[in-house]
Structure 1
Amino acid sequence: MFSPLLFLLLLLPTAFTFTSMTKPRYTVAVRSSMKADVTVEEGVKMVVGGIAKDDSIPKEMLPGLEHFVTEYLTATTTPSSSTRSVPSAISRISTCLQLGATHGIGPQKFKFKTSHTALRTPEFDYYEFGNEFFRPVVDEERSVVGGRENLKEAMERVKMGENVVFLANHQSEADPQVVSLMLESVGYPTEASQITFLAGHKVTTDPLAIPFSMGRNLLCIHSKKHIDSEPELKDVKQKQNLKTMSSMLEMLKTGGQILWVAPSGGRDRRDPGTGEIPISPFDSKTIDMFRLMARKSKKDCHFYPFSMSSYEVCPPPDGVESGVGERRNVRYGPVGVWVGEETKNEGGLEARHKFCENAEEECDKNYQILRKEIYG
Structure 2
Amino acid sequence: MPLTFSSSAATVAVASATVTSSVRVPFNPLLSPTSLRRFVSFRLTSKKLPPLRSRGGATVSSSSLSVKAMSELVQDKESTVAASTTSFNDADESSSNATTHELNHSRTFLDARSEQDLLSGIKKEAEAGRLPQNVASGMEELYWNYKNAVLSSGASRADETVISNMSVAFDRMLLGVEDPYTFSPYHKAIREPFDYYLFVHTYIRPLIDFKNSYVGNVSIFSELEDKLRQGHNIVLISNHQSEADPAVISLLLEAQCPYIGENIKCVAGDRVITDPLCKPFSMGRNLICVYSKKHMNDDPELVEMKRKANTRSLKEMATLLRSGSQLIWIAPSGGRDRPDPATGEWFPAPFDSSSVDNMRRLVEHSGAPGHIYPMSLLCYDIMPPPPQVEKEIGEKRLVGFHGTGLSIAPEINFSEVTADCKTPNEAKEAFSETLYKSVDEQYKILTSAIHHRKGLEASTSTVSLSQPWN
TM-score (norm 2): 0.71
Corresponding residue for residue 17 of structure 1: 74
Offset, 1:324: 1.4
Specify which of 417, 420, 428 is matched with residue 352 of structure 1: 428
Corresponding residue for residue 373 of structure 2: 304
The answer to whether the 8 Å contact 1:253/1:298 transfers is yes
Corresponding residue for residue 324 of structure 1: 393
Letter in 1 for 2:68: P
Q: Superposition RMSD on alpha carbons, in Å? A: 2.2
The answer to whether the 8 Å contact 2:109/2:171 transfers is no
Question: Does residue 151 of structure 1 match 2:221?
Answer: yes
Offset, 1:309: 0.6
The answer to whether the 8 Å contact 1:77/1:85 transfers is yes
Offset, 1:46: 3.5
Q: For 1:111, what is the secondary structure of its paired residue?
A: coil
* 1:144-223 → structure 2 map (5 Å cutoff): 144-185=214-255, 187-223=256-292
Cα distance between partner residues in 1 of 2:327 and 2:249: 12
- 1:331-367 deviation digits (Å, cap 9, x = unpaired): 0111110012212132655511111111111101101
Offset, 1:64: 2.3
The answer to whether the 8 Å contact 2:228/2:325 transfers is yes
Offset, 1:288: 1.4
Cα distance between partner residues in 2 of 1:230 and 1:195: 31
Alignment length, in residue pairs? 353
Structure with the bigger RCO (C-alpha within 8 Å, sep 6+) is: 2
Letter in 2 for 1:69: Y
Offset, 1:62: 3.0
Question: Does residue 257 of structure 1 match 2:338?
Answer: no
Offset, 1:192: 1.3
Gaps of 5+ in 1: 1-10
The answer to whether the 8 Å contact 1:119/1:216 transfers is yes
* 1:74-85 → structure 2 map (5 Å cutoff): 74-81=148-155, 84-85=157-158
Letter in 1 for 2:374: P
The answer to whether the 8 Å contact 2:296/2:306 transfers is yes
Cα distance between partner residues in 1 of 2:360 and 2:221: 20
- 1:165-189 deviation digits (Å, cap 9, x = unpaired): 111111110111101001113x111
Corresponding residue for residue 182 of structure 2: 111
Letter in 2 for 1:13: K
The answer to whether the 8 Å contact 1:281/1:360 transfers is yes
- 1:156-215 deviation digits (Å, cap 9, x = unpaired): 111111011111111110111101001113x11122111111211111111111111111
- 1:54-88 deviation digits (Å, cap 9, x = unpaired): 0311112333222110011111122533x543123
Specify which of 341, 361, 365 is matched with residue 437 of structure 2: 361
- 1:12-62 deviation digits (Å, cap 9, x = unpaired): 52322167523224275999994xxx7xxxx2x432221011031111233
Cα distance between partner residues in 2 of 1:302 and 1:252: 12
- CA distance change for structure 1 residues 317 and 299 in 2, over 3 Å: closer, same or farther? same
Corresponding residue for residue 91 of structure 1: 164
- 1:90-119 deviation digits (Å, cap 9, x = unpaired): 12112111111212x25x211111111111
Corresponding residue for residue 6 of structure 1: none
List structure 1 segments (4+ residues) > 3 angstroms apart after TM superposition: 27-34, 347-350
Offset, 1:134: 0.4
The answer to whether the 8 Å contact 1:168/1:307 transfers is yes
Offset, 1:278: 1.4
Letter in 2 for 1:299: A
TM-score (norm 1): 0.88
Cα distance between partner residues in 2 of 1:31 and 1:325: 24
- CA distance change for structure 1 residues 27 and 257 in 2, over 3 Å: closer, same or farther? farther
Q: For 2:173, what is the secondary structure of its paired residue?
A: helix
The answer to whether the 8 Å contact 1:12/1:33 transfers is no
Identical pairs, percent:
35
Question: Does residue 51 of structure 1 match 2:122?
Answer: yes
Cα distance between partner residues in 2 of 1:131 and 1:191: 14
- CA distance change for structure 1 residues 99 and 341 in 2, over 3 Å: closer, same or farther? same
* 1:243-282 → structure 2 map (5 Å cutoff): 243-282=312-351
Cα distance between partner residues in 1 of 2:110 and 2:150: 22
Cα distance between partner residues in 1 of 2:67 and 2:227: 44
The answer to which of 357-366 and 141-150 deviates more is: 141-150
The answer to whether the 8 Å contact 2:189/2:284 transfers is yes
Letter in 1 for 2:369: D
